[in-house]
């Protein structure tokens, strides 16, 4: 006959990680007092397998519930964010934008202005002025 302690241990086996030693102890408690070692070992192996399956099912149930709650609150999933990022990159590419957010046309215009200033500075430095010639 199982005791309340055995029931508690069984429930803990479902939720927690059941080690081989704990499974062996639990199997001894659940088996008849005169059970053979092979029978206790088989019960322990079955308990380990059952514990793993139960943990996996519990994780799946919790994951589904969390996803459902997040969806009902309107929280975007990682997949939603990835789709938006891809769409923004595609739109930027089509608009001629670079990764910094500036358009490539703006870059070219800025580069032309900079080179025009450099050229003007070089020309003015090369010409002697009337005050320096006297």
Q: What is the pLDDT of residues 13-45, one digit of tens each?
A: 666 777 888 888 878 777 777 778 888 888 888
Residue that wins the pLDDT comparison between 98 and 24 = 24
Q: Could you tell me if residue 109 is inside a domain? A: yes
**Side-chain half-sphere CA neighbours of 65 within 13 A:** 6
State whether 67 and 82 are in the same domain: no
DSSP state of 35: -
Residues 6+ apart with CB under 8 A from 13: 22, 23, 26, 47, 50, 51, 54
C-alpha triplet 95, 98, 101: angle, nearest 5°: 85
pLDDT tops 70 at residue 99: no
As beta bridge partners, residue 103 has: 97
The H or E element that residue 64 is part of is helix 37-73
Q: Could you tell me if residue 134 is inside a domain? A: no
Q: Could you tell me if residue 61 is inside a domain? A: yes
Helix (H, G, I), strand (E, B), or coil: what is residue 23? Answer: helix
Longest dimension (CA), the chain: 124
State whether 22 and 71 are in the same domain: yes
Number of domains the chain is built from: 2
The H or E element that residue 80 is part of is helix 78-95
Q: Could you tell me if residue 4 is inside a domain? A: yes
Give me the mean pLDDT over the 64-88 stretch. Answer: 95
Q: Could you tell me if residue 58 is inside a domain? A: yes
State whether 81 and 61 are in the same domain: no
State whether 70 and 50 are in the same domain: yes
Domain housing 15: 1-75
């Amino acid at each position: 006959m199982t005791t309340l302690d055995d029931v508690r241990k069984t429930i803990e086996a479902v939720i927690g990680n059941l080690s081989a030693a704990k499974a062996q102890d639990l199997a001894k408690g659940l088996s008849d007092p005169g059970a053979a070692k092979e029978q206790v070992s088989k019960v322990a192996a079955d308990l380990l397998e059952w514990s793993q399956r139960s943990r996996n099912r519990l994780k799946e149930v919790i994951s589904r519930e969390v996803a459902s709650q997040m969806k009902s609150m309107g929280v975007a999933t990682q997949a939603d964010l990835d789709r938006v990022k891809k769409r923004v990159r595609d739109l930027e590419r089509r608009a001629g934008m670079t990764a910094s957010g500036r358009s490539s046309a703006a870059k070219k215009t800025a580069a032309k202005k900079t080179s025009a200033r450099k050229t003007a500075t070089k020309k003015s430095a090369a010409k002697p002025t009337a005050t320096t010639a006297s």
